[in-house]
């Protein structure tokens, strides 16, 4: 005979009765549905365990497990933590020794005063397989997040050291000396110099040698960002600050660089309206994201670089004088390549070494290096790399020669005029080669062996060239 259904209408009129009924019903359902149920007291000793759960851990009689610390019966149990902290563990995976993993739920038990008096645990043995897709997805997301964080951390690490700033001449040595001094301090650094002189290399090297090396190095090129977006790039923006912004807002470069270094390239391109906000960050180490009402503090060291004449911009009113003086604490001027031609051999060797894996050519003749000394290099080291790479692509030689480089350089801009206006290419090249050999012989005191050694050619080759060009020892 089927029992009459429970009259909920009458039962719901009594809150306490409803609560007790719901608790009992939930417990009975969970106990029937789960493969294991255990209850512990305030000292995490077992006061009740169902037969299926006790048998799984080697207790044929559930009564023999009563009174034992829960860990003696269920290894790796976390019930004691639930009792101690009073916080539920709604979904956990517990490894049972020599058995499959168990999906468990643990809940604290409290008296009417709210005091924790024990805990109850439910084990869902047969549900782990159904949860596998969720567990697998969670594990995959964790791996992807870790990989993304690692990639981001690598991207924000310095790429260059002081060894990357090639050169041992007086000018290069002085630049590296000042940069190493800057790395020991925490004041703003202002790098001045023409484009392609190595300002970015120095910025990375200073950060790498500083106490902030373990923190992010974040870079921003002012000239590459539209003026309307530059404020959000620097200081961030909250959701809805402007149309097209991500729903979660945007984190600015200052916040990303917290604790580390922010490299601001092409500082001369910073709009006047943002210069006052940047000055406040430098002075107070705090800022407000675009559209926000809160102030964010950021401990950031600034390294600024520019190829523009900032002093002249200050005089013309295009750059704030107070910001210029705040940045102009440690100033390093990177010399143009034409002022440190003594470093050309080392620079050429470094560039060719970097290109060797893809291009094959590793060497350049001394005569070719000497030829490069007479060019004024408006693009500096960046242009030198471009010329050498193009020469490699067009050359059939295993070692770059003068004739490989000459077509790539405007002879009219050479600092040693060759009077080529009325000469064809062959005549101009002969004139240059004659002057090159004569200068080498003169500097060697007429000693052909020494001159040939300095030019990187054999003595017999030198004699042949001297005869062909009509040069007397």
Residue 176's CATH number:
3.40.50.300
Q: What percent of the chain shows pLDDT beyond 90?
A: 35
Residues 273 and 406 in one domain: no
For 204-227, b/e burial (b = at least 16 CB within 10 A) is bbbbbbbebeebbbbbbebeebee
CB-based burial of residue 67 (10 Å sphere; 0-12 exposed, 13-18 middle, 19+ buried)?
A: exposed
The alpha carbon of 182 is separated from its chain's Cα centroid by a whole number of angstroms, namely 22
CA 60 to chain centre: 59
> Of 258, 249, 252, nearest to 232 (Cα)?
252
- Looking at residue 376, its pLDDT comes to 87
For residue 247, being part of any structural domain is answered with yes
Residues 235 and 357 occupy one common structural domain: no
Indicate whether 12 belongs to any domain: no
403-409 mean pLDDT: 86
Whole-number pLDDT of residue 291:
79
393 and 344 in one domain?
A: yes
Instruction: Return the pLDDT at 404.
Output: 87
- Report the distance separating Cα 65 and Cα 63, nearest Å: 5
What is the reported pLDDT for 383?
93
- β pairing state of 89-95 and 101-110: antiparallel
**Which of 335, 363, 397 lies at the terminal end of a domain, its last residue?**
335
CB hemisphere CA count around 162 (13 angstroms): 17
Write out the two tokens for 131: 């949860």
Q: What is the pLDDT of residue 411?
A: 59
User: What is the crossing angle of helices 448-455 and 366-373, to 10°?
Assistant: 80
User: Is 391 a member of any domain?
Assistant: yes
Domain with 457 in it: what CATH number?
Answer: 1.10.8.60
Question: Comparing 74-78, 98-102, 427-431, which segment has the lowest mean pLDDT?
Answer: 98-102
- Considering the domain architecture, whether residues 343 and 440 belong to the same structural domain is answered as yes
Decide which of 80, 104, 129 is a domain's last residue: 129
Q: Which two tokens stand for residue 445?
A: 């005191």
Number of domains in the chain: 3
Rounded mean pLDDT, 348-365: 82
Q: Does residue 228 belong to any structural domain of this protein?
A: yes
What was the pLDDT predicted at 34? 75
Same domain, 313 and 392: no
Q: What's the distance, CA 177 to chain centroid?
A: 26
Same domain, 179 and 277: yes
Average pLDDT of 133-153?
64
Q: How far apart are CA 240 and CA 433, in angstroms?
A: 67
In this structure, are 357 and 327 located in the same domain?
A: no
User: Does one domain contain both 304 and 430?
Assistant: no
The reply to whether 114 falls in a domain is yes
In a domain, 141, yes or no: no
Q: Are residues 110 and 213 in the same domain?
A: no
The lowest-confidence range among 175-179, 329-333, 360-364 is 360-364
φ, ψ (nearest 5 deg) of residue 471? -100, 130
Q: Is residue 396 part of a domain?
A: yes
pLDDT score of 375: 87
Query: What global pTM score does this model have?
Result: 0.60
Q: 149 lies in a domain?
A: no
pLDDT surpassing 60 at residue 126: no
Q: Tell me, yes or no, whether 364 and 247 share the same domain.
A: no
Whether 436 and 417 share a structural domain:
yes
Last residue of some domain: 309, 335, 361? 335
As a whole number, the mean pLDDT across the chain is 82
Burial class (CB in 10 A: 0-12, 13-18, 19+), 379: middle
Q: What is the CATH number of the domain that holds 108?
A: 3.30.450.20
Q: What is the pLDDT of residue 417?
A: 45
d(CA 42, CA 472): 108
For residue 47, pLDDT beyond 90: yes
Between 235 and 142, residue with greater pLDDT: 235
Q: What is the pLDDT of residue 418?
A: 46
Say if residue 300 is in the same domain as residue 360: no
The full 3-state SS of the chain, as one line of letters, equals CCCCCCCHHHHCCCHHHHHHHHHHHHHHHHHHHCCEEEEEECCCEEEEECHHHHHHCCCCCHHHHCCCEHHHHCCCCCHHHHHHHCCCEEEEEEECCCCCEEEEEEEEEECCCCCEEEEEEEEEHHHHHHHHHHHHHHHHHHHHHHHHHHHHHHHCCCCCCHHHCCCCCHHHHHHHHHHHHHHCCCCCEEEECCCCCCHHHHHHHHHHCCCCCCCCEEEEEHHHCCHHHHHHHHHCECCCCCCCCCCCCECCHHHHCCCCEEEEECHHHCCHHHHHHHHHHHHHCEECCECCCCCEECCCEEEEEECCCHHHHHHHCCCCHHHHHHHCCEEEECCCHHHCHHHHHHHHHHHHHHHHHHHCCCEECHHHHHHHHCCCCCCHHHHHHHHHHHHHHHCCCCEECHHHHHHHCCHHHCCCCCCCCCCCHHHHHHHHHHHHHHHHHHHCCCCHHHHHHHHCCCHHHHHHHHHHHCCCC
CA neighbor of 449 nearest in space, from 463, 469, 436: 463
Distances (CA, A) of 297 to 53, 230, 234, 287: 54, 19, 14, 7
Domain span including residue 319: 162-335
């Amino acid at each position: 005979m089927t029992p009459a259904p429970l009259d909920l209408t009458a039962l719901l009129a009594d809150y306490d009765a409803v609560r007790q009924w719901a608790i009992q019903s939930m417990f009975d359902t969970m106990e029937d549905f789960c493969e294991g149920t255990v209850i512990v007291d305030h000292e995490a000793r077992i006061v009740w365990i169902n037969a299926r759960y006790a048998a799984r851990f080697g207790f044929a009689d559930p009564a023999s497990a009563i009174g034992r610390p829960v860990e003696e019966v269920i290894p790796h149990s976390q019930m004691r933590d639930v009792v101690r902290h009073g916080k539920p563990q709604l979904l956990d995976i517990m490894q049972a020794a020599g058995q499959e993993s168990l999906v468990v739920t643990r809940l604290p038990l409290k008296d009417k005063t709210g005091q924790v008096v024990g805990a109850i645990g439910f084990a869902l043995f047969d549900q782990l397989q159904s949860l596998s897709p969720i567990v697998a997805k969670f594990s995959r997301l964790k791996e992807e997040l870790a990989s993304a964080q690692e990639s981001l951390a690598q991207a924000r690490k310095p790429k260059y050291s002081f060894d990357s700033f090639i050169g041992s001449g007086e000018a290069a040595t002085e630049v590296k000396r000042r940069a190493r001094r800057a790395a020991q301090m925490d004041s703003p650094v202002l790098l001045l110099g023409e484009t392609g002189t190595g300002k970015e290399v120095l910025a990375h090297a200073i950060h790498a040698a500083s106490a902030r090396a373990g923190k992010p190095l974040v870079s921003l090129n002012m000239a590459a960002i539209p003026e309307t977006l530059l404020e959000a790039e620097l200081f961030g923006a909250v959701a809805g600050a402007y149309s097209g912004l991500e729903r979660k807002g945007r984190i600015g470069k200052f916040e990303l660089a917290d604790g580390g270094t922010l490299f601001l390239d092409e500082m001369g391109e910073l709009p006047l309206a943002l210069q006052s906000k940047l000055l406040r960050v430098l002075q107070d180490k705090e800022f407000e994201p675009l559209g926000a009402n809160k102030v964010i503090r950021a401990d950031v060291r600034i390294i600024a670089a520019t190829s523009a004449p900032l002093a002249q911009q200050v005089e013309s009113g295009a750059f704030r004088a107070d910001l210029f003086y705040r940045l102009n604490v440690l100033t390093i001027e990177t010399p143009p390549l034409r002022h440190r031609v003594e470093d050309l051999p080392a620079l050429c060797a470094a560039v060719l070494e970097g290109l060797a894996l893809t291009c094959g050519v590793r060497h350049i003749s001394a005569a070719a290096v000497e030829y490069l000394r007479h060019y004024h290099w408006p693009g500096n080291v960046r242009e030198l790399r471009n010329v050498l790479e193009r020469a490699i692509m067009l050359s059939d030689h295993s070692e770059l020669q003068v004739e490989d480089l000459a077509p790539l350089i405007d002879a009219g801009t050479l600092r040693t005029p060759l009077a080529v206006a009325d000469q064809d290419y062959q005549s101009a090249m002969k004139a240059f080669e004659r002057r090159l050999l004569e200068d080498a012989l003169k500097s060697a005191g007429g000693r052909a062996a020494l001159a040939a050694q300095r030019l990187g050619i054999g003595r017999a080759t030198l004699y042949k060239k001297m005869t062909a060009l009509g040069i007397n020892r």
